[in-house]
A = this chain, B = another copy of it.
Amino acid sequence: MMISKRLSELRKKRQWSLQYIADQLNIAKSTYAGYESGYRQPSLEAVKELATLFGTTTDYLLGATDEEQPSIELTRPTVRLTVDGEAVTEDEIIQLIAFIRAKRDIENKK
């Protein structure tokens, strides 16, 4: 079960106890322990709350993605980018990439 693996990893990384998480979600320690062991599956609501608690996404918890923090590669634009709520155009992204590459080039020559 992917979610049990992810929960276990995230919790240990933060050095949180089972009890702490159970308290945050208002569920029994044994209930949350079941999530990590794979003995139980959290409700959809619990999944949402866990994602918030861990500061990650439900997609990551469920294994729909492997990126704990959403991260985007500009040269392969799979998501919509916005600045001040307004979409960044494709042309602008191309310019941004050129800008970053040029900047790195200069840095590397030092």
Bound-state CA distance A108–B70 (Å) is 32
- Which residues 25-67 in A have Cβ within 8 Å of B in the complex? 41-44, 47-48, 51-52, 57-59, 62-64
Number of copies of this chain that the complex holds? 2
Give the secondary structure class of A's interface: mixed
Residues of B near A64 (CB, < 8 A) are 48, 51-52, 57-58
Nearest chain B CB to A104 CB, angstrom units: 7
For chain A, which range describes its interface: under 10, 10 to 19, 20 to 34, or 35 or more residues? Answer: 35 or more
Bound-state CA distance A72–B83 (Å) is 8
Contacts A43-B41, A62-B58 given; indicate if A103 touches B92 (C-beta within 8 A).
yes
Please give the residue numbers on chain A whose beta carbons come within 8 Å of chain B beta carbons, in ascending order.
3, 41-44, 47-48, 51-52, 57-59, 62-64, 69-75, 78-88, 92, 95-97, 99-101, 103-104
